[in-house]
Structure 1
């Protein structure tokens, strides 16, 4: 792994000015000779092909082969647990655990983690691998790292040299051309009770659409429509989003439909640390992190082996009810699956002159998917506050790795929110759905908000 070539360090206005002055010198693209590593010791998206020294992490063999995958299918259902971590044997496995997991064990005496064999299941279409390989020699950061140029598909930085590039890989990863369907959110109380919020969404990606070009992107990443179906006190709330790639240079478009007046109106940016889901999350925690990057320094710490949620197919089982998953204090850990994987570790701290309710955050990104699987958050007093985990799975029929069920824990209040639950839905999200960007207009928002979806 190369040394970090660029970090935001703006403890004073002078340092911030220096960072601005050196920005034109940023060179994210790598020489052709180095890019050839993607055909040798690295996978097509930049992970290490070799397994771990002790053999616990196997060598990469291409991920799950593409095949039909009926709902409820678990390709690793026959796997047996290797061991279970409890409060009693926690210290034995502490080097493999995030601070968030250690805090969960300390907070909840019944918390446990069931560890299974490591399966490097992440897989993507060949054209996406090809696009990622091409990006290695041509993509570079722009606007002090708040954007990048010269790519329309693929991970922009398969051989990253700094933390900013690593975070861009998570934000711009492949999620198919788009999707539509219902997802559910459950915000819990300290006593274990919860309220389920059902939402319907339609989303189209411009970046990572195989038909897109750098010119046709027009600087955009995605378009989305989101509507709350229930509970009754929230039903009918609807939003339209136009999300650019560089959210500092280009303004994010946000429209809201007002039921009382029957009109759509544009509002300001609602990202960053605006509260979400009963205040248990911030807006930039959606998708584990969705940016922008301007309020934090971004430091690449390195890579390490850790236990992270992986191949948690049981949490998507349509035979389960939400009451089977949601328990007091934490989700039902009998349904969660943990494996040892190599992760990129990123430390983010609030820049001088900026504000965010999370003074410090640590991100852990899986090397085989670039997904943020874990995140630890600290408050303004430098006290540990919250942790979040992503229980990803690979849909081999697409193929794509989805950052689906996520659990965001508030250790201070002993509450959590679980998002993207689909177990009780009649059908799964429809992937590779797309609409022309012109569809995502304020006029469409009104029709979207007032039309019943099934």
Structure 2
């Protein structure tokens, strides 16, 4: 059962429902800060007092970018953190990074100058500012009213609103393309899973209105192409915004049976990628949160993966990235950024293999860039990181390449790799909802892609 659900993971990670936390409406005076002291999406516009985090100046301007382009290729490292000196940087490291240094003597983090590169279309900024005073949580936090574009909560008051920003961030009207995941063994050997997917977003499509949203977030189809024992399987998803009001529709095509059947919604701690991830770790976190008590800690300056264009380069092979225990850290770039920190603790009487999780969300994009995970013995267990970059030609900020570490087994899975694919993922691709049907799924699964 676990391997069946892997095929839904490579391009997807967008299923979320969140519980309600303490409510406090944004005042008009607070909303007026957007675009002045705050960026258009709610980050602090100013840099930090030490000068190690610059002011946001609009991010990367929209321009043409070739696949191999790296706007920060000329940067020189500021310093390198190793197992010998990591304690002096402890205040800026997640527990996951500390665990990696303690587990692997050769682990290192190469730290570069900070660039606040995140940028979005102007219409998206305008929609976000409108949302600041016009959007409220409803249905106990599992839904909200009233928005169809933009970050719903640019000035969040609780952890629920914070995570809604992550899940409903801008991903363009949709995308299609090929991606890969590498399931590793401790010695660095790995199995590569390749998939092709097509996704259309309803929320954040400029044509969508509050009336036409109809509680739909996205529609998606994805099929597995490799390895041979999984090839040919495909899934269709109809993903609502409010998953309590309406359940996610999931259909699968089984090549052995030659037909499509509807299956129940999957989530929580169902295992993925040989058990190295859970279903709710897709996209770093996708919910639901109803088994957890959520606590918003606040904002901190932390070292996180950022602007790592090298990891996306078509000059690399997957074997260049994958190493025993952890990815090739010579290819990884880290910067100092302000991030929102929130904790999720398992509620008494509820079941999940993760008892506690700590999330770190980028202030400039609302992306979850890192996650610390503890088991039911209160022992540190797993860590996940997302290597965010801005595609200035779209423009869009993505957290594509993600690495999910299991520190106890010394294994990991790296997802959303496409270095060896001849074509990049195509953004702003879309099809109407009528395209995403069980009948179309069978055609999609058997087509020659």
TM-score by length of 2: 0.95
Question: Is the aligned partner of 1:141 residue 2:137?
Answer: yes
Corresponding residue for 2:243? 247
Give distance in 2, aligned partners of 1:28 and 1:253.
33
Q: Report the Cα offset of residue 293 of structure 1.
A: 2.1
Name 2:284's counterpart in structure 1: 288
Q: Distance in 1 between matches of 2:365 and 2:143?
A: 21
Number of residue-to-residue matches in the alignment: 431
Question: Following the alignment from structure 1 to structure 2, what is the Cα–Cα distance between the partners of residues 326 and 120?
Answer: 28
SS for the counterpart of 2:64 is: coil
Unaligned runs of 5+ in 2: 1-18
User: Does structure 2 retain, via aligned residues, the 8 Å contact 1:300–1:347?
Assistant: yes
Specify which of 318, 329, 354 is matched with residue 358 of structure 1: 354
Q: Is contact 2:372-2:384 (8 Å) kept?
A: yes
Corresponding residue for 2:193?
A: 197
2:265 matches 1:269 = yes
Give yes or no for contact 2:34–2:41 (8 Å, CA) kept in 1.
yes
Alignment root-mean-square deviation, CA? 1.1
Separation in 2, partners of 1:131, 1:29: 18
The answer to whether the Cα contact below 8 Å between 2:22 and 2:158 also exists between their aligned partners in 1 is: no
Decide whether the 8 Å contact of 1:26 with 1:141 is kept in 2: no
Superposition deviation, residue 352 in structure 1: 2.5
Q: Is the 8 A contact 2:40 2:129 kept in 1?
A: yes
Secondary structure in structure 1 of the residue aligned to 2:63: coil
The residue aligned with 1:10 is: none
1:418 aligns with 2:414: yes
Structure 1 29/138 Cα, relative in aligned 2: closer, same or farther at 3 Å?
Answer: farther
Task: Work out whether 1:347 is the aligned partner of 2:355.
Answer: no
What does 1:225-236 align with in structure 2 at a 5 Å threshold? 225-236=221-232
Structure 1: 5+ residue runs without aligned partners?
A: 1-19
Say which of 326, 329, 337 aligns to 2:325: 329
Query: Cα deviations across residues 112-135 of structure 1 (Å, max 9, x unaligned)?
Result: 000000000000000000000000
Query: 2-side partners of 1:67 and 1:40: how far apart?
Result: 25
The aligned residue for residue 155 of structure 1 is 151
Q: Any runs of at least 4 consecutive aligned residues in structure 1 with deviations exceeding 6 A, and if so which?
A: none
1:15 aligns with: none
CA contact (8 A) 1:28 1:160 kept: no
Aligned: 1:386 with 2:382: yes
Q: 1:101-121 CA deviation, whole Å, 9 max, x = no partner?
A: 000000000000000000000
- Tell me the secondary structure at the aligned position of residue 179 of structure 1: strand
Q: Tell me, in whole angstroms, the C-alpha distance in 2 between the residues paired with 1:213 and 1:26.
A: 28
Selected match of 1:181 from 164, 177, 181: 177
Aligned-partner Cα distance in 1 for 2:266–2:440: 21
Task: Give the secondary structure class of the aligned counterpart of 2:133.
Answer: coil
SS in 1 for 2:164: helix
Superposed CA offset, 1:336-355 (max 9, x none): 00000000001001123321
